[in-house]
Amino acid sequence: MKILFYTPLTDAAAWLHDLTRALPGAELREWQPGDTAPADFAVVWRPPRELFAPRAGLRAVFNMGAGVDAILALEREHPGTLPRDALLVRLEDTGMAPQMVEYTLHSVLRYLRRFDEYAALQAQRRWQMLDPHPRETFTVGVLGLGVLGTQVAQAIAALGIPVRGYSRSAKQIDGIATFAGEAQLGAFLDGAKVLVNLLPHTPDTHDVLNARVFSQLARGAYLINVARGAHLVEQDLLDALASGQIAAATLDVFREEPLRPDHLFWQHPRVTITPHSSALTLREEGIAQIAEKIGALTRGETVGGLVDIARGY
């Protein structure tokens, strides 16, 4: 079994070392420009187009994370980049869900108890008591009810905070009001006080966080974007912050990463920035999942995490 490996990340050597231990007997090699030799499987993160073409006999491409945006962007820009018969497989959770729950709960509670405003008051050396937002009207809407979105919605609801969830197709989750499809998006947004974005990035969800969406939230709503930067129309958010329609935003993802030093978000008093760190792929869990799925495919079994290239997730 021949496995091709590529990542531009600084811990490439550690991944390659641990993959070798997890897949004894496999022939692993790190891709280098000009390498067109056959491979059965590829384990990659943000690979260049040249890695795929030509690549005879490739059975599956394993993405070292849940988001397959970079690979799908290559396929959209250069149709046929992915070998026709190769499966595209994403990682499922790998320790990301607890991290995402922690990040999102922190952000929601920070706004509920107005700790962001207390931080601003401290900077001004002002001693001022602020009433917390009424919990019963502090409705949180979770855009995207996949593995991560469902666990985030359930964790918030467990605190007694009203929660709504939105997905492309209908889902039932105990204790959570669910909405599905474009026809129900308006009802999902109507009057929500916090909008948490956990949608996959597809052509249909590009620019989904825009002025029209913001206008349907409660005035003075909060935005938490932990999905993809391409979901957000940045100028629409800046305009909504200026008008007061959006009170504050927590952003973990951006259209351009790293965020350039002169970007307006850096110095905006109502924007909180983190460097795409809300939920990281844990190497040990990721490698165990990849090794298990490669073994299953080798035995002719089915695996989870298959990506529908046409739908984008």
Q: What's the pLDDT tens digit per position in 60-89?
A: 999 998 788 889 989 989 998 998 889 999
Residue 66 CA to residue 279 CA, distance in Å, equals: 10
- Residues 144/198, Cβ–Cβ less than 8 Å: yes
Res. 311 pLDDT band, cuts 50 70 90: confident
Q: What is the pLDDT of residue 158?
A: 97
- The edge-to-edge listing of strands for the beta sheet with 41-44 is 27-30, 2-6, 41-44, 60-63, 87-90
Enzyme catalytic residues = 228, 276
Instruction: Assess whether pLDDT exceeds 90 at residue 202.
Output: no
pLDDT at 100: 97
The identity of residue 118, as a single letter, is: Y
Q: What is the pTM (predicted TM-score) of this model?
A: 0.88
Q: Which residue in this structure is represented by tokens 């978000």?
A: 265
pLDDT band for position 310 (cuts 50, 70, 90): confident
Q: Residue 140 and residue 173: Cα distance in Å, rounded?
A: 15
Ordered strands of the 246-251 beta sheet: 177-180, 163-167, 140-143, 194-197, 221-225, 246-251, 271-273
Q: Which of 87-91, 185-189, 208-212 has the lowest mean pLDDT?
A: 87-91
Tell me 159's DSSP state: T
Domains and CATH numbers, the chain: 2-94+281-299 (3.40.50.720), 96-273 (3.40.50.720)
pLDDT tens by residue, 127-148? 999 999 999 999 999 999 998 9
What is the pLDDT at residue 92?
84
- What is the token pair recorded at 313? 């997730």
